[in-house]
Structure 1
Amino acid sequence: MPLKGLLSSKGGSAAAEPVAEEAAAAASTLSDAQKLAMLEDLERSGLGWFWASDAEGRLVYLSASVAERLGLALEDLVGRPVAQIFQPAASDGREKPLALRLGAHKAFSGLPVRAAARPDGAVLRLAGHPVSDAQGGFAGFRGTGTEITEEWYREEETERLAKFDSLTGLANRHRMAQLIDSTLTAFRAAKRNCAVMMLDLDRFKQVNDTLGHAAGDELLRQVAERLGRAIDRECEIGRLGGDEFQVMIPDLDDRGVLGEIAMKVLTMLRQPYSLEEGRCVIGSSVGIAIAPHDGVTREEVVRSADLALYAAKNGGRGQFRFYSGDLENEAIFRRRLEADLGTGLAENQFFLKYQPVIEAESRKVIALEAKICWNHSQRGEIDEEEFARILEGSSLVGEIGRWAIHEACSHAARWPETVRVALGVPVPLFTAESFVEDVSEALSEAGLGPSRLDLAISEAIFFGDADNVDRTLARLFKLGVRLTLDEFGSGYSSLAYLRRAPFDTIRIDSRLVAEASGEDEREIGLVRAIVALAGALGMDTLAGGVETMALNDALVGCGIGLLQGPIYYESTLRETVEAEIMGEGWRIDPSSERTWRARRRTVLRKIHVIHDDHSYEVTLRNLSRTGALIQGLIDVPRGTQFVVDLGGGQLAVATVTRSNGDTQGLEFEQHLVDDGSGGLCTRNRVSPYLLASAGKPLAALSPGSYKAMRGQLGEGQPIPQFGYAPSARAEQG
C-alpha cells in the first residue's frame, strides 16, 4: 500500500513519536500533495518512519529507509507477518512477544525491536495502534518508529554495569546476592539443595606489588575464564571484588562431586599465567557450604562458606574445606598450634618418622623419606600430614626445615651404605642465603656421604629469582647431594626446569598417580610419557601414595622405577625401620591388607549408631573411607546393620563384619569422601527438611527413638537388645 493510501485510511497516521506528531500538526494547513511530500522527506531523513499491517497481521507498508537501515530488501518483507519480521530487542524475556501485542488489537508504543533476520543489527522503537474499516471491523495496524541503536546500547551497558563486574564480565556482588536470595527462597519451597563456594586467590597481592595493577587486572580476567572452564555444569560465577570470587551451584549436595569440582578449580588456578608484564603463579583456597544443611537464608549459607574458606586458608592454602559446626573453634585451636611451634622447637617436641622408598624391580628399600611429626604437650601426637598444614606459611618453616635436615643426616649415618635418606625442602628454606652451607654442615657433623642425602625440591622454587635458583642448584650439585623434582605434573611443570637443573629423580604428582589406575587412558598415558621423558634425560621416576594393587600394577607396567605408599609401608618410627633395615637388605612386597590397616585413622570420639528404632552411644576408635571400628556394645552378631550417625546429619549405613567382645568392625555401604582437610565425610547428609518432617530439629541428629526411619534396615525384623560393655555403661552413668 502506498503512503498516500495510508493517509486516507480511517484512523489516520499513528503519530506515536514526537517527530511524527509535529509533522502531522504542520500538515493540517497543507494540501494533500504537500503533506505527502513532507512525510516522504521525513521518511528519507531517517527521523521517522511508518509501517502498516492488514487485518491478518501481514506487513502492507514499510518506509524504504527502514529496510535499508536493517540491511533487508523491502520486497522480501512486504506480505510477511509483522511478528516474524521484528522481535523484541531484549533477549531476557522482559518484553512480551510482538505477536501477543498485535493479537490483542490494542495500541502500544516505545517497544524496542530488532529485525529477526538481523538480531545484531539496528534497534528500532516501534509504536502502533489498531485501525478500523468502513464497517467498523478491525483492519490492521498503523504505526511509526525511530532508530534508537546507540541509545539502546548505552542503556544496556548501564544496566549491565549495574549487575556485572566491568573487569571480568562475571556477576558482581549485588547480582550474586540477588541470585542466591531468589534461588534459596524458591528452593526452600521445593526442598531442593544449593551449594555456594567462596574462593580467594593466594599470592595475588604479590602480583600487584611486583608486576603492577595492570598485570593484576589481566590476571583476574584469566582467573575468571579458567573458573568458567573448570566448572562444567549449571552454575553462576561472580566476582565480589578484589581477588574474591563466589560460585552458586543449584541442586548439588554430593560432597564427593563438590570436592572434585573444588580440586579441579584449585588445579587450574595454580597453573602458570602468561601476562604482558611477565609470568606468574598464584593459588587459591575454596570454602563450601550447602543449603539447607549449612544454612537456610543467603546470610547463613554465605557466612558458612566464608568460615570454610577461612579454615582452608588457615589449613595451609591451596585447599578446599566444607563447612562444619566446629570450624570456629578449629580456627582458634589452629592459631594456638601455630603459636606453639616455637615452644615445640625449643623443647625438642618434634621428631621424624620414616617411610620406605621401594625399588620396583627388586622390591628392595633403597631410601627412607623423613617426615616431621609433633609430640605436642597438650594435643598429643600430631602426624606428618597435619603438621605440614600447620607449618606452611609459618615464619619458622625455614628453621624447622634446617632442624629436620640435621636430624635426618644424623640418623642416616647409622644406616647401611645402600640406604639413602630423603626429605622435602620448603621454598623459604631453599631460597635462604645459608641453605647450601646448612646442608654441608649437617652432612659434615653426621659424617654422612653427600650422595646418601636426597633433597626433594618443589617446582615452586622456579618462580623466584632465576639466577639465585640456578646458583643454588649448581652448588648443591657440586656438593654431591641427590636432587628430586617434586610434584612433577602438578600444573607448574615445564621442560625448561629439567634442562636447567641436575635432577636425579622426578617424583610424579600424587593426583596424577592416583588417577593412573582409572578408566581414562589419558592419565596412564601421561605417566608413561613422564617415564619416557625421565629415561631420555637419565633420570629415575618415583610414584608415591600407592594404595591399591591395581594402581601398583599399572605403575609398574609403565616402567616406574621407585614406588612408595601404604600398600608397601606407612611412615613409622625411626626405631621400627632401623630394626628392619639393619639386616642384609630389606625387601617389601605390596599387600592390600597392609593398606586396609594403614588407612584407618585413630579418632576416639563418642558417636551414635542406630539399629531399627534404637540409638546407642558408642566410641568411634578409628575411621577409614570404607569402614570404622566402634567400641561399647556387646553381643553384636556379624551381619548386623547399623546407621552410623557421624554428626551434622551424616548418616552412613554399615554392616558388622567383625565382632570381638565389645568391639565391632564396620564396613560402609557407601564409601566416605575427602573433606578437604585430610578428614573424611559422607557424600550426602540427611536433609533438615526430612528431619523436620520426622519431628526432629533442623540440626544434627540427637540420641533417641528413630521410628520415622524404620524400613531402611528391614522393618518387622526382630530387634536385638544390645547391651553396653561395663566400661561404656560406667561412662554413660
Structure 2
Amino acid sequence: MSKEVAQFLGNSAQLSSLGFAVITASGVITHTNSAFCEMLAISAPDAIVERSLVEHVASRFYSTSADLSQALKSPDFSSIELHLEHDSKPLTLQIASGDSGLRMLVAVQLPKPAVDSAYFNTLSHRDPLTGLGNRMLLDEAIASWQPRDPEVLSLAVIMIDLDRFKTVNDTLGHGAGDTLLKLVAKRIQSATRDQDTVVRMGGDEFVVLHTIGLQPSGAESVAKRIVELMSRPFLIDGQQVNIGASVGIAALNHGTANITDLLKHADLALYEAKAAGRGIVKFFEPALALQAMERRNLEIDLRRALALKEFILLYQPQVNMTDGTLEGFEALIRWQSPTRGLVSPTDFIPLAEETGEIHAIGEWTLRMACKEAMNWDGRFSVAVNVSPIQFESERIVDVVRNALASTGLPPERLELEITEGVLMKDFDNALKQLWALKSLGVGIAMDDFGTGYSSLSYLNSFPFSKIKIDQSFVRGESSPKSRALVQAIISLGANLDMKTIAEGVETKEQFDQLAAGGCLAAQGYLISRPISTMAIAEFISNLKNQKKLS
C-alpha cells in the first residue's frame, strides 16, 4: 500500500464516522480505522488485520459470505453495495477498485446522514473512467421513472456500441483506448439534455435514457446526432483516430409495452444495427424478439447436436477436367436435426463460430472425414473446410495431427480449405500455423478466391497447393468480365505452380469453357450433388465403368 493511503488511514480516517479498510486482491485486510472495527464488532484492529474479510463475515454476520466473495472477485464493478446483518443493525459496505489490485472498503451504519448519501451515490453509481453513470444508476433511473404527462409516455433507451474500438486498443494501446472512451463520453453528453441519463455500461457500450420529447422521434434525433458525432475524427496523443457507432433504440409504447424490457429490446435493436452494416440506427420491433427467441432455441439445439450425433458428412466429388478422372471429395457437414430436418451449414456455422461451438464441430468434422476417407477404394483426397475461428485457439495444428494419427490417413490425402478470414485477423499467427500444417504434409487450398480484399498478397506470403475459383465467377462465366477474371485466376495459379479448381460447375458449357481456359479440376452439380459416405463406393464404381465405355 502507498504511504499516502497509509497516512490517510492513520490520521484523518481515524476521526471519521465512516468505516474505512484496505484489502488485497485476495481479500485479506491490511489496514482499518476505528469506525470500521466498531461496525464489524471487532474489539481491536489487530484482531482482524491480515485476516480474510470473507472469513470474518462468515463467522459473525447472518448475510451469506458467498455474495461478498463474488463481489470481491468481480472485475466489472468499481464499487458494489452489500447489506449485512449484525445484531439486527443493517450495515452497508462499499467496495471500490484501487491501484495495484487493492480495494478500498467503506462501511456505514444505516440510516445514513444526507451528506453520506450523496457521497455513496457518487461512489456506487458512477463509472470511474468517464464520470458517467453506471448500470446501477441506470437500473434505478428506469425503475423510478414516472411520466410527466399521462397522455405522453416519453421514455426511450438509446444503446450505443462503438465500431472499430478494439482496433484502437490493439494499435495504440489501452491508455489511448481509455482516453478515447472519455472523449466519446463527452460527445454523447453534448448530444443529450440535462434531464437525460447517460451511462457507460462497460467496455465500449453506452446508454442514454432519453426522457425529453415525443417518442420515438425524440430518441431518433438524439441517436442520429450521436452517430454523426462518433463519425468525426478524434485526436489522441497527436494521432487521428476514426471510429463510429451503431445504435439500437427501444421506446416505451412503441413496440415495448413493459418498462423492464427496454434494455433488452434496445440491445436486440443494437444487434440488428451491427448486423446491418454498422454506423446506423435501428429501432426495436416485436419481430426482433421472436428472432432472438428462435436464435436462442437454435443455439440450445446446436450445443446438443454433437453429443446426440446429429451431424453427418456429405461428399462432393472433384474431377480432373482433362480426362474426367476422380481426384477426391470435399467433405460438407450437415446437421440432421430431428425437429428442423436437414440444416444447411450456412444456417448454423455462423452461430457455431459466434458461440465457440465451431471448435468441437470442426474437430469432429476433420476426424470423421479422415476416418471415412480410409474406407474409400483408392487414394482419393478429402478436402475439409476450416473456420478462421479454429485458428484463434492455436490448437489447429494439434487437431490435424491427432486426426491423421488416430485414423491412419496419409497426410498427402488431406486438404484443408481456408478463406481469407484466416489471415485477416492475425496474419502473423495464422501464417505461422499454416506453415506448421504444411510441414505435416497436408495440402492447403484457398477457398472462395477473389471474393475478399487481399488475396494476391496472401498468395505471395504462403504457397497454397490449390486455388478454388468461387462459384459466383463460374455462374457469371457468360459475361466477358467474369470470363476475364476466371482466366486471370487460372493463369495466376499456373504461374505460381498452384492447382486451380472451379466450384459450382452446373452446365456442360461452363465445364468446357473452364477446361479450355486451362482450369485443372472441377466440382459441382454437373458432376454430382453431394453424396453420403455409403454412396461413395457406388459412385467410384460407376465412374470407372463410364471411363471404360468411353
TM-score (norm 2): 0.49
Larger radius of gyration: 1
Which one has a larger percent helix, Structure 1 or Structure 2?
2
Taking structure 1 as the reference length, what is the TM-score of the superposition?
0.38
